[in-house]
Amino acid sequence: MILKNIFLQGIFPFDGAGLEKAVPIHSQLSHFVPDGVINQTLYFRGGNSSPELITVVLMRDGVPMRYFPIAAKGDVHVPLRVVEDIDGGSLIELRLLADTGVSGSVVIDMGMVEH
């Protein structure tokens, strides 16, 4: 079996757009799973420089799969033990929920494996 590791990562500035609608953070934070392979997310790490709670949402084909809330000036590490398979042909994306008026930078490092 040949494995390929894929990372969605970087530090991105953001301006809160409300807690109702998850908005894209950056075009780098999306990944299309090619046909014929299986994708599994392995972990999520995140940091938040703003003084308010923010939430990063892992989306599959526009539907939320996991929410990662990050406290004010806080960080999280979520090892995703035994995750479901994401089939080829799906779009994986990270989006953000933050209250209006909140702004800062979010640190993101998500690891995936494809085989």
In the complex, the residues that contact other proteins under the rule CB under 8 A are: 1-3, 34-38, 40, 42, 79, 81-82, 85, 87-89, 113, 115
Instruction: Considering the complex, state which of residue 26 and residue 45 has its C-beta at the smaller distance from other proteins.
Output: 45
Instruction: Considering the complex, state which of residue 73 and residue 77 has its C-beta at the smaller distance from other proteins.
Output: 77
d(CA 41, CA 79) in angstroms, rounded, equals 9
Instruction: Considering the complex, state which of residue 36 and residue 62 has its C-beta at the smaller distance from other proteins.
Output: 36
DSSP type of residue 35? T
Sequential DSSP letters for 61-104:
TTEEEEEEEE-TT-EEEEE--SPPPEETT-EEEEEEEE-TT-EE
